[in-house]
Amino acid sequence: MRNASFLLFLWSVFFTAGSSADSLKGKDIEVQVNIAGENIVIDLNFAVPATQQEVWDVLIDFDRMADFVSNLRESKVIGVSQDKLTIFQRGAGTYGPFTYPFESTREVRLVPYNKIRTHLISGNMHKLEGMTHLIDEGGQTRVIHRTDAIPKAWIPAAVGKIFIENEMREQFNEMRNEIIKRKRASLKETGTR
């Protein structure tokens, strides 16, 4: 009986360690990419153990975003008004031998701690619209994001779908890891006072 309990304990340790590792790598982030003609719609959904404000603070930290999102080379706020920002971002997505450089200037409309809406002003896309919802789930925040895009460069459907899924999952996982990192730092700071 002791051996069975010990084996059950070991199995539970390995199982939970594996699922935590998957979370850190972003495997639990649901990404669906639909390509119809030139239009690309991306739906993304994941949870993070943080408050809506903690999530919000990272998702709108455009001036520091290139520090924690690896496919960004430059990210900055170039204009501010009441409920909106104008941002500029430049970078490149890479998956295997494929690289897709991107650049955009976007208007970002904010409904604090609940909704972020983006609209392309200029860049290397014909269309780039985004909507992110933050939903309090008691102890965690659910992030639901949708992007509707039309690239200027042709993207082959089969390869493009895999490439986009990988890039979106990696990008949002890096943001989630930053949320968790900041939350831990805040808890340590609060605990030492």
Is the distance from CB of 74 to CB of 89 less than 8 angstroms? yes
Give the 3-state DSSP-derived string for 160-178, with helices as H, strands as E and coil as C: HHHHHHHHHHHHHHHHHHH
| Domain extent for 166 | 21-191
Give the Cα separation of 35 and 49 in Å (integer).
32
Tell me the β-bridge partners of 115: 111, 133
Question: How high is the pLDDT of residue 9?
Answer: 33
- Would you state the pLDDT for residue 82? 85
Whether 151 maps to a domain, the answer reads yes
Which domain CATH number covers 44? 3.30.530.20
Predicted local confidence at residue 159, as pLDDT: 78
Note the Cα 78 to chain centre separation in Å: 21
Distance, in Å, from the CA atom of 173 to the CA atom of 127, rounded to the nearest integer, reads 24
Among residues 48, 81, 85, the alpha carbon closest in space to that of 65 is found at: 85
Q: Is residue 123 part of a domain?
A: yes
Is the residue at 53 inside a domain?
Answer: yes
In-domain check, residue 2: no
pLDDT of residue 73: 97
| List of the chain residues with pLDDT < 70 | 1-25, 192-193
What is the 8-class DSSP label of residue 146?
E
Task: State residue 155 phi and psi, 5-degree precision.
Answer: -120, 120
Is residue 92 in some structural domain?
A: yes
In a domain, 11, yes or no: no
Query: Considering the domain boundaries, does residue 5 fall inside one?
Result: no
> In the prediction, which pLDDT does 1 show?
44
d(CA 182, CA 163): 29
**Distance in angstroms (rounded) separating the CA atoms of residues 149 and 127:** 5
Q: Which tens digit of pLDDT belongs to each residue from 69-79?
A: 999 999 999 99
- Give domain status of residue 1, yes or no: no
- The number of distinct structural domains making up the chain is 1
Three-class secondary structure assignment of 77-143: EEEEECCEEEEEEEEEEEECCEEEEEEEEEEEEEECCCEEEEEEEEECEEEEEEEEEEEECCCCEEE
Give the pLDDT of residue 192. Answer: 60
